[in-house]
């Protein structure tokens, strides 16, 4: 089991956020940052934008596409493997809709199963 070390700012952001999606949202965010962490350090720059702007997180609508936050090909493959290629689960982890994840897969040439 890999060990992770959260920064103080990371922990403060988690504590300050209201978690409108409850424990499921917290779990998805933690799964995401663990996949994105290259060195086991969990820092606030790995957190989704909703954590920094809680008013947007409370809105129950689809998250608009933010290309500047799109995962790299390798990161997307990591998320897909972690979720056993369940695109809906990857979309929840990344806070995007399934169509966006499918677009990324097509863009990167990633098949439904590898």
Both 95 and 54 in one domain: the answer is no
- What does the pLDDT average to over 44-71? 63
Both 36 and 55 in one domain: the answer is yes
Both 5 and 50 in one domain: the answer is yes
Both 85 and 106 in one domain: the answer is yes
Give the range of the structural domain holding residue 5, as residue numbers without chain letter: 1-61
Both 78 and 38 in one domain: the answer is no
Checking if the pLDDT of 71 tops 80, the result is yes
Both 33 and 44 in one domain: the answer is yes
Checking if the pLDDT of 52 tops 90, the result is no
Q: What is the pLDDT of residue 66?
A: 46
Using CA atoms, how far apart are residues 32 and 46, in angstroms rounded to an integer? 8
Share of the chain above pLDDT 70, in %: 83
Q: What is the pLDDT of residue 63?
A: 44
Using CA atoms, how far apart are residues 43 and 6, in angstroms rounded to an integer? 6
Both 15 and 56 in one domain: the answer is yes
Checking if the pLDDT of 5 tops 90, the result is yes
Count of domains forming the chain: 2
Both 57 and 2 in one domain: the answer is yes
Both 73 and 85 in one domain: the answer is yes
Both 13 and 42 in one domain: the answer is yes
> Which one has a higher pLDDT value, 50 or 48?
48
- What does the pLDDT average to over 20-46? 88
Checking if the pLDDT of 19 tops 60, the result is yes
Both 72 and 42 in one domain: the answer is no
pTM above 0.75, yes or no: no
Sign (positive/negative) of CA torsion 52, 46, 19, 94?
A: positive
Distance of CA 111 to the CA centre of its chain: 20
Checking if the pLDDT of 10 tops 90, the result is yes
Q: What is the pLDDT of residue 1?
A: 57
């Amino acid at each position: 089991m890999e060990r992770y070390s959260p920064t103080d700012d990371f922990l403060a952001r988690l504590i300050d956020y209201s978690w409108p999606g409850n424990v499921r949202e917290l779990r998805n965010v933690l799964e995401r940052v663990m996949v994105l962490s290259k060195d086991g350090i969990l820092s606030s720059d790995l957190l989704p934008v909703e954590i920094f702007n809680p008013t947007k997180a409370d809105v129950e609508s689809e998250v608009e596409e933010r290309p500047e936050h799109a995962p790299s090909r390798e990161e997307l493959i990591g998320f897909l493997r972690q979720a056993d290629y369940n695109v809906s689960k990857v979309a929840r982890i990344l806070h995007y809709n399934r169509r966006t994840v499918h677009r990324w897969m097509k863009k990167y040439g990633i098949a439904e199963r590898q």
